[in-house]
């Protein structure tokens, strides 16, 4: 996971889709051909989603993620802002993004601050790169016993596919590059601008 500096207002540009389990190998083969000539990174991460309820409006949400493959590695704490819905002509979902490394005491710190854990899941998959673009193909599993990442079950019979770019605010040309890359993945996967509010 990239760590963004606090000085620059970074935005995440995002397109999402899904691919059925039986089509996964075809998609991975296509991605190996289209992406940078390097081995994709395998990952298995445990993510906990924390909420802080305010007086009014939406709760404040933070995502804490740790690697199950490299337990000594730092945790990652991520804040994702509300999607910018003003410009309908934008080809990708755009939202503010702050991503920082944190120590292993992160869950305790969040609890002390008044956050409560809303849900947790395990994401396993592969990360491909194409220039500044990231393509993450992951299988999401629910954690059946809180905190026990050995005891999980898949959320669906498909893999989540996310194409994203982190860039300073105003770099809207990146969404055009993303859209043209997404076109090359059809018909294996249809990557779209999905508004999370529509799914609620």
The sign of the torsion formed by the CA atoms of 173, 176, 177, 179 equals: positive
Rounded CA gap, 74 and 106, in Å? 10
Instruction: List, in sequence order, every residue forming a beta bridge with 46; answer none if it has no partner.
Output: 66, 122
Three-state DSSP class for residue 108: helix
Listed in sequence order, the residues at least 6 apart from 128 whose beta carbon sits closer than 8 Å to its beta carbon are 31, 32, 35, 36, 40, 134, 135, 136, 137
Q: Which residues of the chain are under the pLDDT cut of 70?
A: 1-8, 85-87, 196-200
Q: Which tokens sit at 15?
A: 């397109």
- The structure tokens listed for 64 are 């804490």
pLDDT of residue 197: 60
- Give how far Cα 119 sits from Cα of 1, 144, 146, 155, Å: 20, 11, 9, 13
Cα–Cα separations (whole angstroms), residue 62 to 67, 70, 117, 178, 184: 17, 22, 9, 26, 33
Q: Whose CA is closest to 123, among 105, 106, 143?
A: 143
């Amino acid at each position: 996971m990239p760590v963004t500096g606090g000085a620059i207002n970074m935005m995440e540009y995002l397109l999402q889709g899904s691919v059925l389990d039986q089509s996964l190998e075809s998609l991975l083969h296509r991605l190996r051909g289209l992406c940078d000539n390097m081995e994709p990174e395998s990952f298995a991460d445990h993510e906990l989603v924390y909420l802080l309820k305010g007086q009014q409006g939406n709760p404040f949400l933070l995502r804490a993620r740790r690697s199950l493959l490299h337990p000594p590695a730092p945790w990652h704490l991520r804040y994702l802002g509300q999607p910018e819905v003003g410009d309908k002509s934008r080809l990708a979902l755009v939202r503010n993004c702050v991503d920082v490394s944190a120590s292993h005491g992160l869950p305790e710190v969040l609890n002390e601050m008044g956050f409560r854990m809303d849900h947790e899941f395990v994401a396993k998959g592969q990360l491909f790169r194409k220039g500044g673009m990231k393509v993450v193909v992951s299988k999401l599993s629910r954690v059946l016993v809180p905190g026990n990442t050995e005891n999980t079950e898949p959320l669906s019979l498909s893999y989540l596919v996310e194409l994203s770019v982190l860039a300073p605010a105003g770099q809207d040309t990146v969404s055009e590059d993303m859209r043209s890359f997404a076109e090359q993945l059809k018909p294996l996967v249809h990557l779209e601008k999905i508004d999370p509010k529509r799914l609620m």
